[in-house]
């Protein structure tokens, strides 16, 4: 009995150092890497202006092959039902995850878009809608209201508004065009232009 325990302890110690020799270690690498990815993605999220939890849920779903229920997300990330619910629905609103209904199951499941290019184009479109378009409205308004200004200051302001508006419109249209491309063509263009 004591010998068995010793063997188990030895086995556990060894497994900390062996990377390729047996299955438990691989499993463990995966689980740890997954948890690290979720944690790091959450931290990064805050620097992109999205909440930690939302980024974590997105990360979790991106690396989970099967759709997950709200309860599974809650359990995995140790968050409340309300929090999980709100953020899942926000992610659906962004189009980054979708609702899956399984037959025979009453609850909703969620799965992330896993294709990286598709995810990118979704973010592009949403940011255009949420960030660039409101800016264009502001700039257009400020430009229009100072069109007839005669003072040097007024003219300079009007010019600056017009420059900003032009650029915002350009960025908006570029975003739109890029989002229409699929991965292959996009790479071709990039390769051609920046060869």
Partner DNA sequence: CCAAACTTTCAGTAATTACTGAATAAACCA
Partner DNA sequence: TGGTTTATTCAGTAATTACTGAAAGTTTGG
In eight-state DSSP terms, residue 101 is E
Please, which residues have CB within 8 angstroms of residue 140's CB and are 6 or more apart in sequence?
Answer: 165
Q: Is 149 in the site for a copy of itself (CB under 8 A)?
A: yes
- Between 6 and 180, name the residue whose CB sits nearer to a copy of itself: 180
- Between 100 and 186, name the residue whose CB sits nearer to DNA: 100
Looking at residues 69 to 108 of the shown chain, list those that interact with a copy of itself (rule: CB under 8 A).
none
Site string for a copy of itself, 25-64 (x = CB under 8 A): -xx-xx-xxx-xx--xx--x--xxx------------xx-
In this structure, the number of other CB atoms found within 10 A of the CB of residue 161 comes to 20
The residue ranges that bind DNA (CB under 7 A) are 46, 51-54, 69-70, 78-83, 85-87, 89, 105-108
- Between 71 and 141, name the residue whose CB sits nearer to DNA: 71
Which of 70, 94, 99 has its CA nearest to residue 82?
70
Please, which residues have CB within 8 angstroms of residue 146's CB and are 6 or more apart in sequence?
Answer: 154, 157, 158, 161
Shortest distance (Å) from residue 25 CB to a copy of itself: 9
Bridge partner list, 69: 109
For 7, the 3-state DSSP assignment is helix
Is there a contact between 91 and 55 (Cβ–Cβ < 8 Å)? Answer: no
Is there a contact between 54 and 97 (Cβ–Cβ < 8 Å)? Answer: no
List residues near a copy of itself by CB under 8 A: 19-20, 23, 26-27, 29-30, 32-34, 36-37, 40-41, 44, 47-49, 62-63, 65, 114, 116-117, 120, 130-131, 134-135, 138-139, 141-142, 145-146, 148-151, 153-154, 156-157, 160-161, 163-164, 166-167, 170-171, 173-174, 177, 189-190, 193-194
């Amino acid at each position: 009995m004591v010998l068995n325990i010793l063997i188990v302890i030895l086995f556990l110690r060894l497994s900390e150092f062996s990377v390729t020799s047996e299955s438990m270690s691989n499993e463990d690498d995966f689980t740890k890497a997954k948890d690290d990815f979720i944690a790091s993605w959450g931290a990064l999220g805050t620097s992109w202006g999205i909440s930690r939890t939302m980024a974590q849920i997105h990360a979790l779903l991106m690396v989970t092959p099967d759709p997950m229920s709200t309860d599974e997300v809650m359990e995995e990330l140790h968050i409340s039902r309300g929090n999980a619910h709100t953020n899942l629905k926000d992610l659906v609103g962004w189009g980054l995850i979708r609702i899956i209904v399984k037959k025979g199951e009453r609850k909703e499941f969620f799965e992330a878009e896993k294709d990286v290019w598709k995810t990118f184009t979704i973010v592009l479109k949403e940011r255009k809608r949420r960030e660039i378009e409101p800016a264009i409205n502001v700039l257009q308004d400020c430009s229009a209201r100072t069109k007839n200004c005669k003072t040097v200051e007024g003219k300079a302001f009007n010019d600056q508004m017009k420059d900003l508006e032009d650029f915002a419109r350009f960025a908006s249209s570029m975003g739109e065009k890029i989002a229409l491309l699929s991965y292959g063509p996009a790479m071709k263009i990039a390769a051609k232009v920046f060869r």
